[in-house]
Amino acid sequence: MAVLRPAGDFDKSYEQDMAVLRKPWQYVVLIAFLILLFALPYVASESLVSLVNRICIFMIAVQGLNILTGYTGQISLGQAAFMTVGGYISALLVGVLGWSFFLALPVAGLGAGLVGLLFGLPSLRVKGFYLVMATLSAQFIIPWFTRNLWPDVLNGAQGINVPVPVIQIPVINDICYLGTTFDAETAACLYRFATPTEFIHITLVVLLISTIAAHNIARSRLGRAFISIRDNDLAAELLGINLFSYKLRAFFIASVYAGVAGSLLAHNLRHLNSETIGLNDSIIMLGMLIVGGLGTSVGPIFGTTLIILLEELATLLTPPIIELFPENAGGIGAALRPFIFGLALTLFLIFEPRGLAYRWRLIKAAWRLRPFAR
């Protein structure tokens, strides 16, 4: 779709054409929005902060899935399994080896990326439904390994406790400031990210970095190769694109995003087992991407936010519906959330198959053409 701008608003350089923010007021709005997000823990309730934190973590995972499915056209149902890999790697590095969380986080992403490469190997030979089955195998193989491999370390199906991230701050005048506590063993002040109001700052920083990286990947030579493979892999190969190499890169990047998100989720929940992130989460994340808009930078943001808010709405509606139908209390409680998710996904596939990102693009185009919007 061509970008429509008012008369007189034209680009004079390649940098202006590629710019994401084009007007000074857009910078002001973005900075104000970021300040509001980072100030949220100080003005909102802990339950709201926890909800925003969960949205941001899954947004990172869906951004990786968008690179694989939205841009490269490789459908995957294994994103939650790679989140599990990242969560376990980070938990073991911090809890067993004593690493800093901020060092374990990128290592967890890389570890999940290497595992994702293994499940991306069939992508050269199979596509479509068969590739879905290949990636679905990750949802059975990886949880099986976490339950049966190293039971003394991974604790089988019960899982492991995950330590909270900690920052060491030097002692100043024998006093610890800014909510830190003195640790006699290290002789330093420790700041613990033990609650959602504290942990959300880490999540927001990681989300900001991942969003910028994902947007620039889509606009790079690598992203253009991904899109050409999605549109027509035979034509892409004739143009000199190594399909196997680029498909594996897409799997690696998507798994890195999943591993980072899994690490954040594990340290936020402070416990992890094979059932913490399962097949349902992989399906829901794919639904988030469809609702938000495949192959767009804002699709993961819109889709993740809407689906998780709908899940919270289902939680709020459950008690009053149970009061109306007390004889079916158990069934209603278990079925309402998947019912609302399925209904939303079906409605979007029928009435807005391109997702919320496409509708947002139309709104922006109409705004630029005001008062002559079509």
pTM for this model (two decimals) = 0.92
pLDDT band at 1 (very low <50, low <70, confident <90, very high): very low
**Is 286 contained in some domain?**
yes
| CA atoms within a 13 Å half-sphere pointing along the CA-CB vector of 148 | 6
| Residue 77 within a domain | yes
Residue 25 lies in a domain: no
Q: What is the mean pLDDT of residues 156-183?
A: 78
The tokens describing 6, both together, are 């008012």
351 within some domain: yes
Tell me, yes or no, whether 247 lies in a domain.
Answer: yes
The whole-number pLDDT of residue 330 equals 67
**293 in a structural domain:** yes
Per-residue pLDDT tens digits for 46-57: 999 999 999 999
C-alpha 110, offset from chain centre: 16
pLDDT at 332: 72
Comparison of pLDDT for 371 and 164, the residue scoring more: 164
Q: Return the pLDDT at 190.
A: 78
What pLDDT, on a 0 to 100 scale, did the predictor assign at position 369? 73
Sign, CA torsion 194/313/282/225? negative
Q: Which of 344, 365, 342, 227 is nearest to 294 (CA)?
A: 227
Position 302 in a domain: yes
Min mean pLDDT across 36-45, 126-135, 305-314 is at 126-135
Q: Place 63 in a pLDDT band, splitting at 50, 70 and 90.
A: very high
- Distance between CA atoms of residues 341 and 259, nearest Å: 25
What CA–CA distance (Å, rounded) separates 108 from 84?
Answer: 10
Q: How many domains does one find in the chain?
A: 1
The domain that holds 324 is classified in CATH as 1.10.3470
3-state SS of 244-293? HHHHHHHHHHHHHHHHHHHHHHHHHHCEECCCCCCHHHHHHHHHHHHHHC
Structural domain containing residue 104: 48-368
20-29, 180-189, 208-217, 247-256: least confidently modelled range: 180-189
Least confident of 10-14, 90-94, 128-132, 350-354: 10-14
What phi and psi, each to the nearest 5 degrees, are found at residue 172? -115, 115
85-118 residue pLDDT tens:
999 999 999 999 989 999 999 999 999 999 999 9
What is the pLDDT at residue 64? 96
Mean of all residue pLDDT scores within the chain = 87
Quick check: is 151 in a domain? yes
- Is the per-residue pLDDT at 239 higher than 70? yes
